[in-house]
Each structure stands twice: as C-alpha cells, then as structure tokens.
A and B are shown apart, each in its own frame.
Chain A
Amino acid sequence: MKKVCDNWQAAFPAGKVSPEFWAAFEENAKNAGAEIFKVKTAAEAKDIVANLAKFTNAKKVVAVDSALQASANINEELKELGITVYNDATDIAEHAESADIGISTVEFAIGESGSLCMDGYAFESRLVTMLPPIHIAFVNSNAVVAGINEAFEIISKVYDNGYVSFITGPSRTADIERVLTIGVHGPSRLVIIAVDEAINGGVN
C-alpha cells in the first residue's frame, strides 16, 4: 500500500515522541468521545477487537493491513468468528460502504488535542476510516507527541504529496439546535487500541 511516507518513525524528532504525553492524549481523546483501550501486547488487542465485533454483531469488516495488525492475527481471529474480512484495495472499495467495522493503523497520537495522525495516501486506507459506522484505530502507545506544533514538525518532514489527516473522536454535529449528535457522515464510534509493545521497528 502506497503511503505519504513509508517510515514515519524516522521523522520523529528525538525526545519529542514519548509515552509521557499519553495521559494528556487519553484525556483529550476521551473528551472528544473516543473509546480507548490500552494494552501491553498485540495479542491482547486481538481480544478487544473480537469482543467488539461480537457485541456489535458485526458481519463484515474492512481492514487495511499493518505490521501491528498482522502480528496480532486479527483478520484470522475475525474470520473464525464467521465474519468476512476484506483487506484488498478493490474489495475495500466495493464493501466499505456496507461494512460494519473499519480497521486501520495510524502513525502517531497528539496529546494536546487527543488526535490521531493518519497517512491516507491510499484510497482504501481512507475508506475504512470514513464509511463504516465503527472505526477501530491502532496506535503504538509510545508514539505520542505533546502538541500540534510537534505534530507539524513531523508532518513537514515527510509530507510532499498525498493525503494526511487528524482524527479526533467520532463524527459529530451540532447543526440542529446546537444539540451534539454523534455519527453524521463519518463513524459514530472511534475505538482506539493503543499497544505498548513495539512491533516491526516501532518506537520504544
């Protein structure tokens, strides 16, 4: 899958990406309506995904693969539950609209705002975060920057062409009588699964 940058971690400025910003991230992301699970290993992450799929009675999942996901064997676990998992670009294009859950991995998290920074160069990597009613986002819990300034320090190093975005909580509106309502055009649930263990050259 083509990305804006194949190695974001190489652009992380020394000393500015650290688990010390996790608490701020967690607080702000929760305030924005995100659901957060912090786990030590990819194996634990797998259980959370499986439980969520069971509880929501999911039948169809679209997922863009990443090292983190692959190491947790998530797709296999879901298939064992009788869920159809699509992870090929054309399949995602065909099925994202009718899928129950979309799964992706983001590059890093931002403490100041509770945001996730996502590399969305590939069309399918965007669809899985946009169209299904639930978006599960994996992030390495050590890949957190303090603020938006630091986030842009990283982005400015890698961003030449394509699509980069922040996701902060679920889709929301207050356009009718200023009443906060969740899930307009995007997912109504953002489930963040933060994994402590570094996978495939992750930050420690």
Chain B
Amino acid sequence: MESANRDIKREINEKLHDQVLRGALGRFAEAYPTARAKAYENVEDVEALREQFRQLKIDTVNNIEAVADEFEASVTKRGGKVFRAKDGDAVKQYLIDLCKKANVKRIVKSKSMASEEIHLNHALEEAGLHVKETDLGEWIISLAGHKPSHMVMPAIHLNKEQIAEYFSKELQQEIPTDIPFMVQAARKALRTEFLQADMGISGANFGIAENGAIGLVTNEGNARLVTTLPRVHVVIIGYEKLIPKIQDAAPILRMLPRNATGQRMTSYMTMTTGQTPVMVKQDGKWVEQPKELHVILIDNGRLKAAKDPKFKEIYNCVRCASCLNVCPVYTIVGGHVYGHIYAGGIGAILTAFLHSMGDFEKINELCIGCRKCVSICPGKMNIPGLIEELRAQSVKENGLPFGVKAVFENVLANRKVFHTLLRLAAIGQKPFQSGKVIRHLPLFLAGLAKDRSLPAVADVPFRDRVHKINRKISNPKKRVAFFSGCNIDFIFPETGESVYKVLHDLNMEVVFPEDQSCCGKPVLGMGDRETAKRIAKKNIEAFEQTNADIYLAACPTCTETWHETYVELLHDEPEWKVRVEKIAHKFREFSQFVSEEYAKAGRLNKVAGGTKVTYHDSCHMKRGLNIYEEPRQLLEAAKGYDFVEMKDCDKCCGMAGAFGVKYAELSMPILKQKIQNIKDSGADVIAVGCPACMMQIQGGLDKQLPNVKIKHVAEILAENI
C-alpha cells in the first residue's frame, strides 16, 4: 500500500506555516533535553546501561525463533492462546472471528502502534464492532480522523481549541477550552466504555519468554483498565518486543520512561500473564471467571528484518520516540510529513520494512544524518546509518534519478571534469555574486538553491595556491599529506592556507597530492555506492604515492569517510582493503592532531583575550569522530581570544550535505536557531572545525548577524603565528 503522488515539498511547507504545530513542537524540543538529563541524574552509568540493553537485544534477535517459541509455550501453558500473524490481514481476520465466537460487541483499546500500523480500528468498525481508543491522545486523533504525529504524544499537533471542538461534537455538549475540564470530560466518557467493554486490546512494551508476561507502561492508567475490566484480553505484540527473561525488563524500564518523557517511571507499569481472574455480572450477580487471553504475535516484515545482518538492529527500538524529540527536522515539521504511522528517522526505517519501500523513498531524505538520535537512543541504533543503507539498496534496485546519475557518474567520478566545471563556475557566477556570497549556485545546483545565499566559488582554488604557499622544511618532524576536500579546495582556500601555516610552524612538511578529488560522501549520501567506490579508489591511489607519515584533513566528514566509509566500502575487495587500511590508520583530523602537538610543545595554556569566540560542534566532528574537547583547548589557548560556550552548541546547523540545498525551507529554520544562539552567546567570532558548517553558518550570518565573523579553527591558530 503505497501512497501515490505525494507532494512532500508542499506538505512540508504547510507544516512550516502551521503555528500550532511549530509552537507545541518547539516548546517540547526546548524542554526535552533538560528533562531527560535530569531523569538520568540518578543512573550511575548510562552508557553501560545502553550497552547492556543493546547486547541483550542483539542476543535476542539472533535467536528470535527460539525466543518466540518459548514465549508461545509460556503463554499457552498458562491458558492463553497464541496466534502468529504474518500480516495485518491475518490479525484482522483472527480478531473478527474471535469477536463472533466470544460474542464480543464492544472493544476498548490502549495504545498499540502495531495496531495503528495495520489500520486495525477501521477493519473492526467495518465488521460492525464498537471500538474505542482510550489513551487520551489516541482518542483525540480518532475523533479528529488523524494519524498520530508522535509515538508518545500522538495529538501534539492539535491545540486545545481544536480538541474542544472535537469533544463537543462527540459528547454532544459544549466543552470549554479548559484543559483539566476537558480531561475530566474524557475520563467520564471513556469510563463508561471501559465498564461496558467485552474485550480489551492492548499492545505491549515488552513480552517475556520466560513466563509469557507482557509489560505495559502508561501514565493515564488506561492500559490497566483495558487489561483488567473486560472478560477477553487481546495482546498485539511485534516480535521485536520479546525478551528472554523477567529480569531483562529492568533495563527497558530504566530507560523507556526517562527517554520518552523525562520521567524516572511512568505512573503505571503493568505486567500480566496467564488467565488472570475477572469478575463479570451474570443475571445480576458477580461471578469470577478466568479471563480469556489471546496473544497475537505480529510479523508484518519483522522476521525478514531479523535475518538481515544490518536491519536486525530495528529490534533495538523500544518506541520511546526520543529520536524524534531531538531530531532537527522532526521538531520543525512534526510527524505527519512522514506519511505512514511511524515518524522521524526511525519511522523512515520502520516504514521501509513494515509498509513499503516506495513510501520510504519519499521520506528518506528528511534524515539529515546529524546523529543526535544515535547519541541518546536506548538501543544505540544507528538510525542515519540504516537510512543510508536503505538508500543504497534502493539505488541498487531502482537506480538514481537520471539527472543525478549523470552528474555523479560523469562529473563527480571524474576529477578533471568536476574541477573544470567548478573553475568555470567561478567565472560563471560573477553576474550573481555580491561580495563573498551568491544568490544562485550555477550549474547542477541551480534550481535547488532558491532563496538563499551560498558562498561563492573561489577565484583561485586551493590546489592552484599550493605551490605559492608551500615551504621547504629542513629536517621536518613529520611528512603530512593534506586532503583538502571540495569545500576547502574551491570555496574556502584560505582555510587550506591556514592549515599549511600551522603545520609549517610545527616544523612539518606538507604535500598535496594533485589527483585527489571529492571524498565521495555526497554521492554515498544519495545511495550511489558504485560511484563512491570509484572515487575512493582514485583517492587511495593518489595518497599512497605520497609516502607520508600522516594523512590529514581539516574537514570531519572527509576524515570520517577515510576512516570508516572507505574501509567499509572496500571490505570485500581484499587488495583494496589492505591498501585503504594502511592509510586509514594514519589519517587524522586537523584540530585533534594539532592539539596533541601543541600539548607536547606546552602551547595549550589558557589565555584571556579581548575577542569573544564560541564554537559550533559539527555533527560529524562530535558524534562521528568524538572530537569536541580538542578544538576548545585550542581556542582557550589562542591569544587575543576569550572562549565562551553557546546554547545547543552541538545541534546541527541544518547544512547536512545536500540536504541544506535541496530542502532549503527546512534547513533555514534550523539555521536561524543556530544564528540566534550565536547572537545570545555574545561572541564576536564563531569558530568551526567543519567547512560545510562554515558554508551554512556564513550564509546565515550574512543575512542576520553581519558583525559576527566565522572562522575555521585553523585560521584562528594561523593568526597567532
């Protein structure tokens, strides 16, 4: 079921102008990190806890069939029935048959994403059953006829005025926009539903193989009523929720509430197994009987994922939705743009597996790869990595769009053509250029770069400046081969000059292999692994001829590409694997390398100066390379500068490779927040370690904060030489 003809760009624009949504999401995104951090204050070692849970889930998915068998046996032994459903249709048929057999007319549901995933309510209603969602947020969106826009807060996109209207209509009385009153009105209406229901349908936050228990966390208490009051209980649980032992629930319960809502525990945590007693009124008398229990284990793509060496990682997801709460894109557009039930980066992945690849393709570009989610995910899922992998699979199966394919294969994979075009761009852009920025980047980016300033392509690229700035070093300490990357080569050649100055000052010889080209990350970001491989091999050939002691880049993305991506790309080509590993082991990021050398030379003493400088952590630098202390040490020791921190220093600037250009309308609000934080810090200079961030932030400063200068860390160091 693929939603055809979606116009994502139009939908995004609508959401950007939806003040209710922007307000609620903005406030939430603002408050969330502090609330989460506070909730974890009494957990001694959060990293160890995440690792313990990750390992538990890996071990479980590797044995998923055995764990599922044990779970089934445990439920069956205690009087429950287990039905293994291969897809949504199977679940619906089973339930409709069951309702007939057990004479069920009225159903209450507590939140179950798995049932949303298969659009269960609709099918049950069509079969003539009375079905009510009881989670307040789910009830609201069911009245509104909406899909959930967040896994934990499904109605976050609506305001109280809108909700009061839905309530008034449903309850057939005027409901004022007073939130406590509205909640009480919902309590009353739904209490009647609970008391009259024949069947309760719940999801499960976990299912324990050891004794067949399922666990549910809620704040409202609706899951307790759904599992207690009606005479029949149906659990719909995905395979990924299974854990082997009772004690394995502990790490989930220690992280799920803290990550989801910043609570140390939700109001209620309920575990139930077997045929618990239930009392029903028969002929005016209360009679106790064993509750009829059905557990539906739903596959719907999950077992296929379990067998995939990479995508089995989706079993690590506890559905806390914390990845959405920190996602720079989600917090601007909300969940509905993602189209299907599961939103955000994790939603893109789940959509591919549980829905269709076609739907994935429409939304996958909304992940900007900043990895903020990876740093807080309880299961340490590499969401951006999996999305990149899915893109690659999609490109392998369907190919790239024609224009992009032509550019990648004919331009980016051929250094000479690429560089010639960039040189032509330097001339061609002149009519559009004002100062150092241009309104439209010409050539293949044209049309994608509306409404924003982009830095101009430099008149003389770095590669043509090398011979002028290079110095002969007698008795050099080290021989360094410099990989400039496209941005330093063609946009910020001055940064490259500063790198040379700093390295020369450290008595190091620097070489620039002429045949180097783009690192290939943009190509890979679009899923084109084949072109990326060709680029990687050309760069490896260029660098292995240098006979250098150290290979170095002043760009975290290029550094990471050399460290990890090339090695991974070429892992099944033994000869190339050896060749790339030799270089990768000695490949260094500029600020980290220089801070080590400065430390050895006693040049890292803190100084106070007049110019205030703050630092922006690039996503790839902090979360990719784990480098964030070193650039600060360098800035604190830089003469003439006074280092200050700014708010959200490690939040993405919105550039994220091609994203910033292609989704300018989304990138802009992210950038605007960054510029505001720079302004609030009072800094005169914003220092960065990443040329791509430099490009993005410079564009924002140019328009909103022209008095603040942006400098690469290398430039600040070079000033003091």
Contact = CB atoms under 8 A, between A and B. Distances in A.
Given A153-B247, A184-B183, A176 B163 contact: yes
B171 to A, nearest CB: 15
A175 B153 contact: yes
B250 A148 contact: yes
Interface stretch (B185-193, B455-463, B577-585): B185-193
B24 interface: yes
Contacts of A170: 267
A159 B247 CA distance: 11
B55 interface: no
A174 to B, nearest CB: 7
B247 A156 contact: yes
B142 interface: no
Interface in A92-117: 93-94, 97, 110, 112-115
Interface in A110-135: 110, 112-115, 121-124, 126-127, 130
A184 B138 CA distance: 13
A167 B267 contact: yes
B619 interface: no
A163 B215 CA distance: 10
Interface in B1-55: 24, 27-28, 42-43
Interface in A148-167: 148-149, 151-153, 155-156, 159-167
Nearest to A155: B246
B160 A177 contact: yes
B156 A97 contact: no
B187 A163 contact: no
A113 B265 contact: yes
B274 A156 contact: no
Interface in A29-53: 31-32
A175 B154 contact: yes
A171 B279 contact: no
Interface string B450-473: 000000000000000000000000
B286 A184 contact: no
A169 B211 contact: no
A24 B264 CA distance: 12
A204 interface: no
Nearest to B220: A184
Q: Which of B27, B160, B276 has the most CB of A within 10 A?
A: B276
A79 interface: no
A14 interface: no
A153 B42 CA distance: 19
B268 A179 contact: no
Interface in B151-187: 153-156, 158-160, 163, 179-180, 182-184, 186-187
Nearest to B264: A113
Interface stretch (B60-68, B221-229, B297-305, B699-707): B221-229
Contacts of A110: 265
Given A89-B279, A175-B135, A185-B222, A28 B270 contact: no
Nearest to A2: B277
A73 interface: no
A181 interface: yes
A171 B288 contact: no
A173 B220 contact: yes
B160 A168 contact: no
Given A152-B249, A165-B268, A181-B183, A90 B279 contact: yes
Contacts of B27: 178
Given A152-B249, A183-B187, A184-B186, A121 B220 contact: no
A171 B182 contact: no
Nearest to B137: A175
B189 to A, nearest CB: 11
Interface in B179-237: 179-180, 182-184, 186-187, 190-191, 194-195, 210-211, 213, 219-222, 224-225, 227-228
B461 to A, nearest CB: 50
Contacts of A176: 136, 140, 155, 158, 160, 163, 179, 182-183
A130 B265 contact: no
A172 interface: yes
B253 interface: yes
B247 A186 contact: no
Given A152-B247, A159-B211, A185-B225, A93 B220 contact: no
Contacts of A121: 276-277
A160 B210 CA distance: 9
Given A171-B220, A175-B155, A184-B220, A159 B213 contact: yes
Contacts of B180: 181
B241 interface: no
B136 A186 contact: no
B179 A181 contact: yes
Contacts of B517: none
Contacts of A172: 219-220, 267
Interface string B265-281: 11111111110111101
Contact of A185 (B191, B263, B277): B191
Contacts of B158: 176
Interface string B430-445: 0000000000000000
A178 B228 contact: no
A87 to B, nearest CB: 14
Contacts of B272: 162-163
B136 A163 contact: no
A89 B287 CA distance: 10
Nearest to A24: B42
Given A112-B264, A156-B247, A171-B267, A89 B224 contact: no
A171 B219 contact: yes
A16 to B, nearest CB: 14
Contacts of A171: 219-221, 267-268
9 contacts: A93-B279, A97-B191, A123-B228, A163-B228, A167-B267, A168-B263, A171-B219, A174-B219, A186-B221
Interface of A: 2, 24, 28, 31-32, 89-90, 93-94, 97, 110, 112-115, 121-124, 126-127, 130, 147-149, 151-153, 155-156, 159-179, 181, 183-187
Given A168-B263, A176-B158, 14 more contacts: A32-B264, A90-B285, A113-B264, A123-B277, A126-B228, A148-B254, A165-B224, A165-B268, A166-B268, A168-B266, A172-B267, A173-B137, A175-B155, A183-B184
When A and B form their complex, which 3 residue pairs have the shortest distance between CB atoms, in order from nearest?
Answer: A186-B221, A175-B137, A113-B265
